[in-house]
Chain A
Amino acid sequence: MAAIDLDTMLAKIKSSQWALADIDWDAPGAEEIHPDQWVKLKAFMSDLMWIEHVGARGFAAMAKKAPDDTLKEIYTYFHAEEQRHANAEMALMKRWGMLEGDELPEPNINLRLTIEWLDRYSDDMPLEVLGSVIPMLEIALDGALLKFLLDEVSDPVCHQVFEKINADEARHLGVDFHVMEMLGQGRFHQLAVKTIGTVANPKLILGVLAYAPLLNRMRDNIVAMGLKEERLYEAMNKYKRIGGRTAEGRRNPWFQIISRHGEYVVDRSHFYHKPVDALVKLSNFIPARLLGPVPTWVKELTWKPTA
């Protein structure tokens, strides 16, 4: 098992912190956003910052389930770092004139459902579930979305910000895959029985009903913006390759489930999309007011470097 030393990693995380105030948000370069890309970029950045924010809440739930104090502290930092990424991405949106006043980008209905699920049930999920889903989201973020963004946008401040975000994400992925392998230890039949028990959990089923349409909607949004589907394939393959590089990793049933699911998501011709796309359409009919106000953790997002 390609183990990493978590204590060393925690020290590295602590010594690699950065703040929005480290960046000159008024530096020249904002004008390099062309008017014809502005609308698409606004939608892309909005999806991106929400993925970061949803990931942040996932790490908060994982901190509660961490088997030791070091991993718990690492996840506490990752929770904050994903929030920092969302904040920094909002600051870029502000710089590019995409936000009015203190407003947050509007989350789509699938995001709202996912936020609601995270708020109510994520703390009850075993580490295995979020510990295998989050790496998938992060690898998609790191391997596809961010690279795409940097290809499309030449604003130097954007590059400066994503250099920092990428460095954070590299540490996140290191820990993510270490934990996935850790979760694959133990007798296979025990892992399998535990997985079956979790899959049957109604809270998880509700989570899947929120998560699957969200991924589909986001994939469609992103591809509509010009992201090549091959990028997503590459990201899924990377997840499979790294997650399955060791016997322990491959023995983790959740790795198998998530990587199979990733294949379905990027294969537009798969039957999987019929019911999930139907769910996307169905979700359009859910009135947002039915969900009530957003949880207060969402309101902690800010593009302001100082408070």
Chain B
Amino acid sequence: MAIAPPQDPVNATLVKKTTAAAGKNPQERTASPSPAIQESAAVIIIGAGFAGLGMAIRLKQAGIRDIIILERSDRGVGGTWRDNTYPGAACDIPSNLYSFSFAPNPNWSSSFSRSGEILDYIYHLVEKFDLGGYLRLQENVTGIAYDEAAGHWSATTDHQGEARQYQGRTVVMAQGPLSNASFPAIPGIDRFQGHKIHSANWDHDYDFTGKRVGVIGTGASGVQIIPELVKQAARVRVFQRTPGWVVPRLDFAKPDWQQTLFRKLPVSQKALRQLLYVAHESMALAVIWNSPLTRLAERLSRAHLRRQVKDRWLRRQLTPDFTIGCKRVLVSNDYYPALQQDNCKLITWPIDCISPEGIRTAEGIEHQFDCLVFATGFEVGHSGTPFPITGRQGRQLNEEWKSGASAYKSINVSGYPNLFLTFGPNSGPGHNSALVYIEAQLDYAVQGIRTILDGKLKGLDVKPRVQREHNKAMQQRLSKTNWNSGCQSWYLTEDGFNATMYPGFASQYARQMAQLDPADYQVLK
């Protein structure tokens, strides 16, 4: 199921194609007189996942073609779907909604796509919209800085150990919030003598047959990996700290007639997408705010648990003690059955440390393994930035975000003109497709970039007061949501500040992003 580009002939071709096309942008490029500057462009996009590629598509469609996409990987495009190729990797949102509205795919094979099929869709976007020429692979951005006098950003990169520099009138940050694998801070983690695998960097060469495997983490990746591992390994032990709410996945193979219908009558696919969108919007009432629907969703999840787990103690271990929605809701039909297989066991004792042979838990037992799988997710920057970002008068964004990230409408930050964030502060969805939110951000960024380029502006900088007022209202709204109801989750900083989620419906977010109001911005000429 898991598709790594080098193992797949079609994808391998595309990786080669995008790699070969790098540096052959059809657009004319201004070579810098300074050898330190590699290239300059109207727009630098950092990251070639869904957001970065989507940005390039929308800019192209708006007639802006002077673009560079800096991608740190040497494995081509795809972002999180390129990296997450673990067995069972799939999206929790139906495929018809987890795709761009401006690039529908009638050929989804099932209602919820696996990672390989989503990656194929991303490759298809690159081909269809001819984005290969914009890509610069193995360009790991190490910092960006705004030059107020010149009105441009410079991005320094590490290209296979060589320092490079790119210049852009505007920068779009599309490096993704879930891009750096996070290992848990368990004492002794480096002492383990067996094999270690992180879900975001799967080792496809490792043969689990006959192996004793320990899985740490029972979040979104964990519940997908565990059923697959149980099929292969001799013994699987699942270490759980906090059980999550699990709801059934309404997964089914798409019939051929539906694909034909979508191809011949695209409006029918649009209608289904709209239906799925509205259905997911209604879920906000259950997972974002505490309402009677929240109780209903919890009841549904408990019924799912009761139906699949007959043992009272195991059911107790798997019953969450927080309001549904406070943490990410898990979607699975095969996680609970997998835990009850003869070769699998759930362990809820607190982990004391990792020893050379395995994991020691507080009930005094050392659980020994050949391999440890870390399904522990990603480092989510609540308060930092992925690399130094220097704005006007040398201000540093990670300094300003120390006590929690904030932005205007999630996309602009005062003091950092011409910088557009995707998946910025308070843009996370808890109930609907992330791509719906991204699309709204992309179209807002197009408006901003067009204003800058057409007006030949040095800078478009959001007013501090506007940003402040926006965030004050945002935090007030967040205080009434389930995310802030007392559980610990990656949505919150250690101090409980929510810099991650958007407290509303996707349609509210889209409305917020529909119009760029020039009055909110200071123009630098």
Q: Are A and B genuine complex partners? A: yes
B304 interfacial by beta-carbon distance below 8 Å: no
Mask of A51-86 contacts with B, CB within 8 angstroms, 1/0: 000000000000010000100010011001101100
Contacts of A285 in B (CB 8 A): none
Q: Tell whether, in the assembled complex, residue B360 and residue A19 are in contact, meaning their CB atoms are under 8 Å apart.
A: yes
State the CA gap A155–B357 with chains docked (Å). Answer: 29
Mask of B303-331 contacts with A, CB within 8 angstroms, 1/0: 00000000111101000010000000000
CB closest residue in chain A, given B311: A296
How many Å from the CB of A13 to the closest CB on chain B?
A: 9
B361 interfacial by beta-carbon distance below 8 Å: yes
How many Å from the CB of A84 to the closest CB on chain B?
A: 4
A20 interfacial by beta-carbon distance below 8 Å: yes
A252 interfacial by beta-carbon distance below 8 Å: no
Q: Tell whether, in the assembled complex, residue B366 and residue A87 are in contact, meaning their CB atoms are under 8 Å apart.
A: no
Q: Tell whether, in the assembled complex, residue A80 and residue B349 are in contact, meaning their CB atoms are under 8 Å apart.
A: yes
Query: Contacts A69-B488, A296-B314: A81 and B365 contacting too (C-beta < 8 A)?
Result: no
B342 interfacial by beta-carbon distance below 8 Å: no
Give the number of residues in B that approach A within 8 Å (Cβ atoms): 23
Name A8-31 residues within 8 Å CB distance of B. 14, 17-21
A190 interfacial by beta-carbon distance below 8 Å: no
Chain A interface extent, by class: 20 to 34
B293 interfacial by beta-carbon distance below 8 Å: no
State the CA gap A248–B37 with chains docked (Å). Answer: 72
Q: Tell whether, in the assembled complex, residue A80 and residue B368 are in contact, meaning their CB atoms are under 8 Å apart.
A: no
Q: Tell whether, in the assembled complex, residue B350 and residue A80 are in contact, meaning their CB atoms are under 8 Å apart.
A: yes
A290 interfacial by beta-carbon distance below 8 Å: no
Q: Tell whether, in the assembled complex, residue B313 and residue A84 are in contact, meaning their CB atoms are under 8 Å apart.
A: no
A275 interfacial by beta-carbon distance below 8 Å: no
Contacts of B316 in A (CB 8 A): 123
CB closest residue in chain A, given B360: A19
Q: Tell whether, in the assembled complex, residue A19 and residue B368 are in contact, meaning their CB atoms are under 8 Å apart.
A: no
The 6 closest A-B pairs by CB, nearest first: A80-B362, A84-B364, A17-B352, A83-B363, A296-B313, A297-B313
How many Å from the CB of B401 to the closest CB on chain A?
A: 26
Partner of B350, one of A64, A76, A88: A76
Contacts of A77 in B (CB 8 A): 350, 362
State the CA gap A125–B200 with chains docked (Å). Answer: 43
Contacts of B349 in A (CB 8 A): 80, 83
Q: Tell whether, in the assembled complex, residue B352 and residue A20 are in contact, meaning their CB atoms are under 8 Å apart.
A: no
Query: Contacts A17-B352, A19-B360, A69-B488: A87 and B365 contacting too (C-beta < 8 A)?
Result: yes
How many Å from the CB of A163 to the closest CB on chain B?
A: 15
Query: Contacts A17-B352, A295-B312, A296-B313: A306 and B368 contacting too (C-beta < 8 A)?
Result: yes
A302 interfacial by beta-carbon distance below 8 Å: yes
State the CA gap A73–B362 with chains docked (Å). Answer: 12
State the CA gap A88–B362 with chains docked (Å). Answer: 12
Q: Tell whether, in the assembled complex, residue A306 and residue B364 are in contact, meaning their CB atoms are under 8 Å apart.
A: no
A304 interfacial by beta-carbon distance below 8 Å: yes
Partner of A305, one of B314, B352, B353, B365: B365
Q: Tell whether, in the assembled complex, residue A81 and residue B362 are in contact, meaning their CB atoms are under 8 Å apart.
A: yes
State the CA gap A153–B357 with chains docked (Å). Answer: 33
Contacts of A17 in B (CB 8 A): 352-353, 360, 362
Partner of B364, one of A19, A76, A297: A19
